[in-house]
Amino acid sequence: MLPGKAGRCLAKALIVMSLLWPAAARAAYTSARQLLDKPPEWYASEEAARAARAILSYQSPLGGWPKNVDTAGQPYDGDPDALRPTFDNSATTDELRFLARVFNATQDDRYRQAFIKGLDYILKAQYPNGGWPQSYPPPSGYGRHITFNDGAMVRLMFFVREVATDDARYAFVDPQRRSAARQAWDRGIDCILKCQIKVDGKLTAWCAQHDEKDFSPRPARAFEPASISGCETIGIVHALMAVQNPGPEIIAAVDAAYEWLNAVKIPGIRVEDRPQEGTPRGHDRFVVPDPSAEPMWARFYEIGTNRPIFADRDGVVKYDLREIGIERRTGYQWLKYWPKNFVSQEYPQWKAKVK
């Protein structure tokens, strides 16, 4: 698990999906996650078997799972080739964790085979330089980039590390694959260090996605410009802080991220949503002065100036949230408290241990 609380950007991967939704329902995240904290004996139950059959039905021929689907609900009865596996929105890793639990409880080889197929898919998807795209095979658009957005790569890294190190849960995985998983974690750490953005020779933090060849910060959707992220950076530093006996390069990277986050925090404001009829989401969003408010951070900062930036679907960068349209203004999280726990608790505790 990630140390501490990663803020909304990663914590939203913990949102529970209801198994009562119909099979056709679209969910914010795949529903396997809510089944990962059951007692060990539950995974041998008929209820677990029903969920497992559904999850198996959603595994694509490539080995991964689609996103935003109730994968543990009613079984998929469509064309398997139509399934689009991805690592976005916590897809694939949750299903694999569930299958491992069911295999350990039942010793049914179907679940072991499906797990191995999914693990191989993840390992194959990693670039030689250690990064992962948003999906595999890499798409032609921004999804081919090294994807830190919404914690995708970090989530994969913690999964392969879990496979490599958890002898109780993953003993059924052969030593060669567990060794490959450990190597994948190590390459991921190396990739993270290479992606850290330097400004005037000084390390700062990370973009939500980086070029898969030269590690440079890259844009995604039109309203997600190349920038330094106050959100995705938190998951990345959690991965670095999880390295045992970190060397000077890792310590310097985390120190620099902490210093940068402290430098760009925004005091004296809060975000307020006010009801407004006739708007896309029934409200408008305002940045309100509040001297007593806790510091906030922007999702995106301009590289070189550290100015918070915002953008609409036309891709034009603005410096004031009021300057973008209400659909994007209220439909995206531009200002939040993502680094709060890292800055106030996690970093000081980690730093005291690595001195």
Active-site amino acid positions: 89, 221
Q: Which amino acid type is present at position 145?
A: H
What DSSP letter does each residue of 10-23 carry, written as one string? HHGGGPPPPTTS-T
Neighbours of 244 (CB within 10 A): 5
Give me the half-sphere count of Cα atoms (radius 13 Å) on the Cβ side of residue 152.
26
Query: Is residue 119 within 8 Å of 111, Cβ to Cβ?
Result: no
CA distance 236 to 249: 14
What totals of helices (H) and strands (E) does the chain contain, helices first?
11, 12
Report helix angle 248-264 to 175-195, nearest 10: 50
The CA-atom distances, in angstroms, between 73 and each of 27, 48, 70, 82, 251 are 11, 11, 5, 18, 44
CA distance 139 to 319: 31
CA distance 99 to 52: 7
Closest CA to 228 of 314, 148, 325, 344: 148
CA distance 17 to 352: 38
The contacts of residue 77 (CB under 8 Å, 6+ apart) are 57
Q: What are the φ/ψ torsions at residue 92 (nearest 5 degrees)?
A: 85, -50
In the block, tokens 């080889």 appear at 109
Q: Encode burial over 291-320: b for 16+ CB neighbours within 10 A, e otherwise.
A: eeeebbbbbbbbbeeeebbbbbeeeebeee
CA distance 184 to 73: 32
